[in-house]
Structure 1
Amino acid sequence: MEKCQNHRTYIPLSPLFIFFLRFSSLHLISSAYDIPDKDFINCGSKENVNNGTRNFTGDENSGSFTKPSSTVSDSNQSPNTSTLYHTARIFREQSSYRFETEVGTTYGYLVRLHFFAFSSQPDLSTAVFDVSASGSLLLHNFTASKDLPLIKEFFLTTNTRKFRIYFTPKESSLAFVNAIEVFPAPPLNFSLNESQRAGGSFKFPPTSVLQTIYRINVGGITISGDQIWRNWETDDSYLYAKDGATNNQSSDELHYQSEDGKYDAPDMVYRTAKLMSNTNVTWGFNVNKTAEHLVRAHFCDFISISPNVLSFNLYINDNFRQEINYSNYLNKQTAPFHIDFVVGSYDSDVMNISIGHTNPRFGDHPFLNGLEILEIVDALAAIPTEYEQRQVNIPIVLGSLLGGFALLSILVAALFVFLKRPRANPVEKSIRGQVPAYGGRSSHGKSTSSSPVPNLNLGLKISFAEIKSATKNFNPRQLIGRGGFGTVYKGTLSDGTKVAVKRGAPGSGQGFTEFQTEIMVLSKIRHQHLVPLIGYCDERSEMILVYEFMEQGTLTDHLYNADLPRLSWKQRLQICIGAARGLRYLHMDSSEVIIHRDVKSTNILLDQNLVAKVADFGLSKSGPPDETHISTKVRGTFGYLDPEYFKSQLLTEKSDVYSFGVVLLEVLCARPAIDNLLPRDQMNLAEWAMRCKRKGVIEQIVDPSIKGQINPKSLKKFAETAEKCLQEDGSERPAMSDVIWDLEYALQLQQTTVPREDYEDSTVMASSSAFEVDEVRRLPSLGSTVGDVCDEFSELTLSEVFSQMRDENAAR
C-alpha cells in the first residue's frame, strides 16, 4: 500500500486548528510545564486534606462556591475510603464553584470531579443533576454510585479569567460533589499533521470538551496516579483473545523528544507492551455510539533488534487501517511517541482496536504500549449571568431614576397610539403564530424562547404535563426501550390514544439536530408503512417525540427474542414488502426525495397485525425530486452501511436499497448484520450470505425455524432480490418499486408453484459470478493528515479487515 504520508493536504486555520493550538506544545508563556499546586478543593468541609500527592483545601476556607448550599458527612467513614470522600457539598439550586485561571496560556485545563454517594441524609444516590463549564455540558442527568468513588475527567479551554463549574439539580432533586481539581494540563501535543479522521474529514466544534473514557497501560500493571495523578488500567479485561499476545517489558533508557513529552504518559507505560504472537490482537471498548472519540495510541520500540525496520498495521473498527512505520516518526529506538485519531460515530457502542502484520512474510512483531480514548463532548450549556456586588454610586442611581421616569412617559404615549391603531385579522395573526422565530440555544442545543423547528404547525406540540400523565411520570415500569437518542416509554394520552414516548437524552451526542429532523420529516409525510408522529414536546429543556404505539415492537425482537413466537416465512415476506413500500414512498411519492440513511431491522416496527412501519428519521436527508445525490457526512450503522456511500460520501436513495438488502438477509437467516463472535469468514452477513449463494448453498444458512416452510422457488427469488440490492455499484441496484415487485412475486411463489414467463425479472440481473464481494468491496485508506484520502484503496475487504480483529475461537 502506498504510504499516505506522501499525500498530505494542509488545511487553513479553522475551529479544528484553533482547538489543536489551545492544547498544543507551542508554549507562549513558559518553555516547560510546571506541576501545579492548585486548585484542589475538598468540598463540604473546613478541613484541608493531603492525600499524599497534593493538598486539597476545604471549600469553606476558600469561599469558592456560590448560592446557598449545605454540607453532609459520611456516617460510616470507612478507613478504606479516602478522606476526600467523607464529606460533600449539596446544592438545591443551580450553583457554581469559581476559579481564577491564567488568561493567555496555551495550556488547556484539566478538570476532575470526584463523586461518592456515601450513606447520608439526604440520600446522595438519588441525586440527579447536570454539570457544565465553559459553555459546555459536561454531565447530563448524572447519578453517582454508592458502591465506589467515581472520578470524571475533562480537558477543556477557557478564555476568561473567572472560570466556573456549574451544578444544576434536575427538578426537585439535588446536586453534590465531594472534591474538585482544576489546573493547567500539560501540553497534549496535538499536531494537525498527526491527528487523523478515521472514516472521513472532521471539524471540531469550537466549544468541544474532551472527556476521558479509557486510559490503558497495555501489557503492564495498573498505575494509580502518574505525574499529574492520572490512573491507568491494565488491558487484559478488554482483550478478546489473551492467548494471541504476550506481555513484554524493558528497563532501557527512554529517549523523549522533548521535556514536556514526559507528561504524555508515565515511563511505566512506555516500558511495557503487548506483543502480537501469531494472529491479530484486538481490544474492545464500550463507547457512546453517537459521539465522536479521540483515540491516542502510544508506542515505544524496545522490540526490534535495530531502529527504523519495524512496520505494522493499526486497525480501528472495521473501516480504518493505518500503517505504523517507525521510521516515519522517529529515528531511534526506545523513543516514545503517540498517534491521534478522531473516530466518527457510526451507531456502534463497541470500538475495536487491533494491531496486525503489514506483511507476515517480513516477520514484524506488532506491539502497543498504551491507549487513551476520549469522548468529544459538544453539547452546549447556557452560561448563567453572575451578579457581583458593587458600590452604590448615588449620582448614577439618581440619573437612572430620572431617566426611568422619562422612559415610562414615552411608553405610556406609545401604548395610547397602539390601542388606537386598527387590529390585525385574527386568522392572519393565527398563521403568523405558526411560524416561530428560531430562538437562542439552551443547554441542550435547542430553542428556549420558541419552538425549536421553524415553519412547523404548532398543533403538534404536546404539553410536558400531559406527557408526564401519559407515562405515569415516566414510571420505569412503562419503559419499553433505550437507544442512542434516549429512552422510550409506553403511554396513554388523555383521549385514550396509546403512544410510544421517546424522551431524548441531550448530551448523548444525537441530540437536537436529529430531534429537529425527525419532526420536520414526519410532520410532512403520512403513509401506512411509516410510523406516524403524533406530537412533540420541547418544554423545560426536554426533547420528546410522541409516536403511535406499535404493539408488536421491532422486527429485531421477532428475529432474536426467544420469548416471542417465531415469524413464519409468509409473515416475513409480508413484513419486508410493507417496509419496502414505506421506503418507496420516501424515495418516489413524497413531495421531495427523502433518504432514510439508517435502514435496519431495529427501525422496522410492527403493529398489532404485524404490519411493518419504517421508523426513526433522525438521520434522514431530503432534497428536490431531480437531485441525483446529496453530499454529506457518512452516517449509518455498521453492517448496513452502503460501501459506495462510505467511499464517496455521496448519498443517494440507492444507499437505502443496499441497507434494505442486508435487512432481507437478516430476515432470511435470523442473525445480525455483524456478529463479532462468529468465525472470520462469517462475521459480515452480506458477504457471507452472497458467498453461500454463489456456491449454491444458500439454503444452508436459512433460519432453522423456517427452513422447512420455504418453497425453493420463493427462496431463489428472495435471494436474487437481496443480491441485486447489494450490488457494489449503486446504479446497478434496483429501485424500491422493483424490489417490491420481486418480493411480491416471491410471496406468490410461496403460495403457488405456477411457473413464470421469461419476463419474470423486474430488473436486469447481474451475473452471480460477477458479484465477487471479496474482490469489489474496498475500503479507503486514509492519510496521516486531516482531509487526506489516499488514491489507492485498501487490499482488504470489509470482512477481512474486521475479522482480523479477532481470533477465530475468541469469546468476549
Structure 2
Amino acid sequence: MANPVNKRFYTKINLLSLFFLSYPLVANSYNPDYNIAISCGSLKNTSGLDHRIWVGDSIDNSKIFSFIEPKTKNLSFNTKPISTYTNILYTTARVSHSNFTYSISTITTSPVFIRLHFYPSSYQNFDPSNALFSVQVNNNLTLLKNFNPLLWLDHVDDVTPIIKEYCIQIKPNEKLNITFIPNNINHSNPCYAFVNGIEVVSMPQFLYYSAPDYHFNYLTLNSNEYQIHSDSALEMVYRVNVGQNQVPTNQDTGMFRNWEADYPLYLEKQYPQSLSSDFGERVNYSLNTNPNYTAPEDVYRTSRSYGMDSTEDYNVTWNFEVDSTFTYMVRLHFCEYDYHIRIAGDRVFQIFINDTLAEETADVILWAGGRLIPVHKDYAVSMYSQEGNSKIERVNLSIKLQRLPKSMSYVFTNYHEVILNGIEIFKISDTNYSLAGSNRKSIILNPKQQFLPSEKSKKSILVVVVVVVSCFLLASVIGMIVFVRRRRRFESHPEMEESTRRIKKEGSSTLPSHLCRYFTIAEIKAATNNFDEIFIIGVGGFGNVYKGYIDGVTPVAIKRLKPGSQQGVNEFMNEIELLSQLRHIHLVSLIGYCNDGVEMILVYDFMQRGTLREYLYGSDNERLTWKQRLEILLGAARGLHYLHTGAKHSIIHRDVKSTNILLDEKWVAKVSDFGLSKAGPTGMAMTHVSTVVKGSIGYLDPEYYLRQRLTLKSDVYSFGVVLLEVLCARPPLVRSSEKKKASLVIWFQRCYKQGLIVEELVDPFIKDSITSESLKCYCQMVLSCLHDDGNQRMSMSDVVGALEFALQLVTTEEDSKFGWTKEKEKSEQRLLPHFTSEDGSDVFTSSSDDYGSQTSKVSTISTSTEGQPMLSATVFSEIGNPKAR
C-alpha cells in the first residue's frame, strides 16, 4: 500500500497526478504504489516524455523528499549543461564538490526501482572528465564507486544520457537516503559529483526477487537451488527486446522500464530470416502462470530464430560485457506464436549461457502449456576472468541458441529451430553489499589534475633516479660480460648453440618460432629486471610495454599481455603470425615472443622516439616541422600500402592511429600493433570482409561501423583522420569542447563545406610554413580519404603519391619563394599519371617500383557533380564544395 502520509499530502496540494502514474498511451498491467521522479537542479516541475511530472529539487517538497549537504564553502548548486539534449530532464543538473544526499520520505512498499540519470556534458567550468564519484544508499549499499559517466558513452561523437537502474528492498518504515560522494583525490583541483534525475518506483514483490517456493538453476555450480533473497540488491545491466525495435519507458507495463533493441549492439550477427515479427495475434495471459506485467506484449510478439528455410548451421549469439567477480541473474523471455508450432516437441533446441549448457532440450510449448502464452526462465551464473585473474575487470557474457544436434536422435522435433523473445541481465550484490564495478574504459585524468611534486618529493625522486640509473648501468656491464663469455663458449662449441636454439623452439610448438626468436620467461625477466615498473614506456589494452635489453646489449620494446588474460590471445597469435612473415622498412619488426604458461609476450625493435602523437600534442616534445610531418606520413602510408598490396595476401590493419605510428632515432616512421589486423578480401567477386567492429573510437570508418563490412578503404579512412591530426595537432575527439568542435573530422568537413577559413584549424606552430597551395593540396587529399562512400576514397597507393607530391611542393617552395618555375611545371607534366577509380571515374594515378621507394606522383583534385572532391588531371587549382553522398 502507498504511504498514507504521502497520499494525504498529495491530495492536499492537489498534485496526485504529479507523483502517480499518468496513464501512458498503452494500458498498464501494473500501477506502482509509490512513484516519484525528481528533476535535479530544476527550479520548477516539468512534464517528461514518459508522461510523468518530474519534481524540481529546488522548490519546497520537504514532505516528499529533502536535500541534505554539509555546511561547507563547497555547497552544491543547480546548473545547465553546455550542450543540451532533447529530453527536458537533462537540461538541468545538481553539481557539487562535496557530498550531498537526497532523503526520500518513508516508503512502506518494497521493493523499489532506483534509477539515476546522468548527462555527461560540461557544466559551466566543470570538465566532464573530472566527474568522479561514488553513490551509496542508506550508508550500507554501494551502487557506484569511482564512477565517471563520460566513460560509459557508446558513441563519443554524441553525448547521450547514462541511466543506472537498481532494485533494492526497503526495510519497513525506513527512509531512502541516496548519497553522492565526490572522489577528492586532488584537493588543488577536486573531482565533483552530479546527477540530472532520480526515480523511485515501487515494483511487484516477486517480479525479480524470488518467492519462497521459487528456485532456479545456478549454472556455475550445477545447482537448481538458487534464489534472489530480500537481503540482496540488483543492478539492471541489460534489458533487451529481441528481434525488434526498442520498447520505450512509456510502453512498459507500468514500471517505466526501457527495452533496448538487440541489434546491432548485442546480437553477434543478423542472419537472413532470423528476424520474426508478430502474426497479428494477441498474447494470451489468461492461462499464464506469469503475471502480465512481467514484460510488455511487444517483447513477446517478436523474436529471433533461424528461419524455417535455413540450411546453414550456426549459433544465434548475443554478447554482453559485464563486470567480473559478480554473480548475475539472466532472465530469458519466450512466447511461441509461430502457427507452425502447436504442440510440445514441435520446436526443441539448446541454450548455452557463458558457454555452459543451460537447457539441453528447451521446449517453449512444454514450458508455457501452449501457443501465445508468455513464459520466462531464470539462470544464475558467476563471471570470473580466465585463470581467476581478478584484475581483468570486464568480461563477456554470451547467450547462444543452437539447433538440436543430430546425435540426439532420441529427441524428436518437427522443426530444427530456435526462438528467443527477450533478455534481462541483473548483477547481484556481492558479500560486501556492493554493486560497484569498473568503468567501461580506464580513467584518464585531465592534465590539470596531475599532481605537482613538492621540493622534498623532487629531491627524493632525484635520489631514486640516480640509484636506479647506477644499478642499471652496473647490470648492463655485467650483462655485457656474460653475453661475451656465452658467445665465446658458443663459438667454440657450436653444438651447444644448436641445443639452446632447440630448447627455445620447443617452448611453444604452436607458434612460428622458426620465423622469429623464442624467448624464455627467464630471458624476458632478465631484460626487464623482473618487469620493474621503472622500465614501463607505455600502457595499452594489451598490457604494459617495457624497454629492455636482450642479451644485455640490444634495446627492445617488450609488450606483455596482462598475465592470465584470455582477452588478447587472438591478438597475440595474430600479431606473431603476421609480423613474423612481414618485413618492410616502414613496419615495426617483430624480434620474437614468449609463450610460457600464463605469460604471452611480444618483443619488437625499440623505437627511440616513441609515437607520432607525442610530437603533435599532449607532451613536452619539440614540435615537428611541416616537412618532417609529411615525411613521417609518407613513410607510414608506404607501410600501409605494402600491407594492402605487397604481402602475399592483402592485409587490413584495422587500427590505424597516431599512437600506432612509431618513430626510430632517424625519424623513420613505422606502423605498429597488428593485433586487430585481418586478411583482406580475396578474389574478384569479394569486395569486403564481414567482421565484428573493432578499432579505436575517433578513427573508425563509418561505413565499416554501420555495415560491419571491412575493406582496404577502412584503413584509408583511419589514415585520413591521422592526416587531420597531423595538420591540426589535436585529438580526433575532444569531449570537453563545444559539440560542433568535439569531432575533428566533422568540424573540418563542416568548415570546408561552408567555405569557412580552414587555416583556423591548422596547428599554429606550422601555420606560417604552409603555403595556400600546399594547404589546398593537403585538404583535398584528406577529404578524399574521409569520403563516406569507401569506393570514392583514394587507395593507399594514391595517398602515397599525393603525399610525395605534397612533399615535393614543400621542397620546391623552399627552393623558390616566388612560386612555380617553368622547369617545375614541365617536371610535373612528366610526373602526371592516370588512374581510374573503383566506380570508373578518372581519379588518380600512381606507380611504384618498390614498396619502400616509390616514384614521385602528381595528383590533383576537383569537384565531382555531387560536390564531393575528386582527383583529376589539373593541379589542385580549386577547392571544391564537398557534400556527403
* TM-score, normalising length: structure 2: 0.43
Q: Which has the higher contact order (CA 8 A, sep 6+)?
A: 1
Larger radius of gyration: 2
* TM-score, normalising length: structure 1: 0.46
